Chain A
Amino acid sequence: NAGVTQTPKFQVLKTGQSMTLQCAQDMNHEYMSWYRQDPGMGLRLIHYSVGAGITDQGEVPNGYNVSRSTTEDFPLRLLSAAPSQTSVYFCASSSQGFYGYTFGSGTRLTVV
């Protein structure tokens, strides 16, 4: 099915480890973004991209890197995991015009 594929669904990391959360979409959407969701808070934007080769920071970018080498893929890298990065992460995409957003199924990350 067309949509946004996010992997893995669950991950446990030790403090200091690095990992990459994968996000891929097959709808040829220009806009892709990463959010984190924490209890009692709204979704917060980490990084976003308006097209291949273009990325920008969101509200909470520290500790995360992104790249957009293709239209389809937008991976999120945690360079050195910290307990404060324990959260649920969502990737989303949208076409130009932002008529609607398609979200991935989320990644529940625990850093111990």
Chain B
Amino acid sequence: KNEVEQSPQNLTAQEGEFITINCSYSVGISALHWLQQHPGGGIVSLFMLSSGKKKHGRLIATINIQEKHSSLHITASHPRDSAVYICAVRPYNTDKLIFGTGTRLQVFP
């Protein structure tokens, strides 16, 4: 079993829909990161969370440390949101990241 599990693996949506991507992990962590990988391959860091909730534009990320779970929400989705969204965790006392396999999102007009 992977230490970081994402669901769903693939997600399709119509423009305007509310999107939720989930990430569960099995280790104690210092922080959790959400990343976005564009169709061209580039990877961008979206959020770093150690507790609570963060919001940036139409993106909202939440984390529940006790339940070892995080969600990434996209409100009013748009075709330009189409990308792979990757969850990664940094376990306690390490400098390393452990990555999930990603969620491929396609938003259609």
Contacts and interface: CB of A to CB of B under 8 A. Distances in A.
A70 B104 CA distance: 37
Contacts of A58: 96
A36 B99 CA distance: 11
Contact of B43 (A44, A103, A108): A103
- Determine which residue in A35, A48, A50, A100 has the highest number of CB atoms from chain B within 10 A of its CB, and name it: A100
How big is chain A's contact interface, by range? 20 to 34
A108 B4 CA distance: 25
Nearest to B96: A45
Interface in A50-78: 50, 58-59
B41 A106 contact: yes
Contacts of A100: 33, 45, 48
Chain A interface mostly: strand
B88 to A, nearest CB: 8
Contacts, number: 55
Contacts of B63: none
B41 A42 contact: no
Nearest to A56: B95
Nearest to B99: A42
B45 A50 contact: no
A39 to B, nearest CB: 10
A48 B86 contact: no
Contact of A42 (B33, B45, B48, B100): B100
A105 B31 contact: no
Given A98-B90, A105-B41, A42 B4 contact: yes
A48 B99 contact: no
A111 interface: no
B61 to A, nearest CB: 13
